Amino acid sequence: MTSSHHHVEEPSYTPPAPPPPPAPKKRRKISKPLMIGISAGIVLALGIGGGAVAYSSNSEKLAEYEDARGLLSTSAEAATDVLDTIGALEPATQEELEEQIAAANSLLEADAPSVMSFDIDDRTSELVDGRSAIRTLVTDLETATESKESYSAAVEDGEELLSSSEELLEKTQDKILDEDAYEKLSGHVEELKNALDEEPDETSADSFAEHASAITSASDAIDGSTSAVSTSHDEWVVAEEEKANRAPSNYKTISERDWQLVERDPDSYEGEKYVLYGVVTQADAMTGDATIRVNTGPVQQSRRYEYDVNTMVLAGASDVFSDVVQDDHVKMLVEVNGSLTYDTTIGGSASAVMALAYDVEVIGEF
């Protein structure tokens, strides 16, 4: 049996069409009055913030202005006080200061700026500059016053020094070893007199300073000369005392009886000056260069035992015993200096008249 096959054709595939695009949305329009309102709000917000910053900054500047105003007021008042006490000194500077005070008062009398002012910095600078100008001029006048005060002090010290120097010259006239020192002091005294006699210009600080310098210079010169004159006078006094101590006319010649009274109570005759003779009983290493022991009497004797008053004699002048040895027969110019008790070499003690010898003459030996 024969079978038959039939061929069936399948239909072809067609893709679906894409969906149509959505319709565009219409953008909503903002009305013009609304836009204007938003812009105005932004501008208003910015304006308020900037104003707050400016207000805060100006408040600080206004405080600085008030501080500067207070300082200028104080300086102007102080400057006025200076002008009231300055006298005739530096008139040009005074005039300039008066002008600055007037300008300062104008600034002080003006109304203060407000917190919203734009010129606070400039007005503060005017106050600061005005105070600086016043302070500079006041300082100049204070310096001028110091020059005048220094001059016054120099005059006071100079007059005192002049007085004492003139007294010294009077005291030491013809009583000085160094005549050149005396003449130099006399010259410096004249210079100081002249400096003190010169009158400074009462309006000039420089004049006061120059005169003070001249007085100080002359005073300094006197100080050095005064020392030299005083020293030379002291040397003259010593020389005169030594001369007087060596002058026989200043010593008494007494009797044996008078000397026995001295021996009995030397302290009652302290300071009395006598001519004595004697024999040196000790002048060795024990007594040294400044002391000798002498048996003395007021009259020159020919035998040593006739001198019987034990006397401890001290050097009243340098080298007075340089040529004296034991057993010398001497003539002495002495000043009684009281009594002396001393230990002897054998263990006992002895009493002696103590005297200062200003001149010793060896007239022989025993």
Give the C-alpha distances (Å, rounded to integers) separating 71 from 74, 101, 125, 127.
5, 13, 12, 8
Asked whether the predicted pLDDT for residue 90 surpasses 60, the reply is: yes
Residue 193 to residue 214: CA distance in whole angstroms: 11
The predicted pLDDT at position 53 comes to: 60
- Give the helix/strand (H/E) hosting 116: none
8 Å CB contact between 272 and 252: yes
User: How large is the average pLDDT for residues 31-58?
Assistant: 50
pLDDT of residue 32: 47
Q: What average pLDDT score do residues 176-192 get?
A: 97
Q: How many CB atoms lie within 10 A of CB 362?
A: 13
The average confidence (pLDDT) of the chain is 88
In the predicted structure, residue 45 carries a pLDDT above the cut 90: no
Q: What is the 3-state secondary structure (H, E, C) of 313-326?
A: EEECCCCCCCCCCC
Nearest to 242 by CA among 174, 318, 323: 318
pLDDT the model gives residue 3: 40
Q: What is the pLDDT of residue 21?
A: 53
For range 59-86, the mean pLDDT: 96
Question: Count of alpha carbons within 13 Å of 172, Cβ hemisphere only?
Answer: 29
CA 279 from centre of chain: 63
Percent residues over pLDDT 90 in the chain: 78
Per-residue pLDDT of 144-177, as tens digits, reads: 999 999 999 999 999 999 999 999 999 999 999 9
- Report how far apart the first and last C-alpha atoms of the chain are (Å, whole number): 215
pLDDT in tens, 318-355: 889 999 999 999 999 999 999 999 887 777 888 999 99
In our burial notation (b when 16+ CB lie closer than 10 A, e otherwise), range 249-260 reads eebeebeeeebe
Q: Which residue has the tokens 């005294």?
A: 189
Asked whether the beta carbons of 314 and 293 are under 8 A apart, the reply is: no
The tens digit of pLDDT for each residue in 112-139 reads 999 999 999 999 999 999 999 999 999 9
Kindly indicate the confidence band of residue 263, based on its pLDDT and cuts at 50, 70 and 90: very high
Torsion of CA 95, 101, 105, 107, to 10 degrees: 110
Amino acid at 72: L
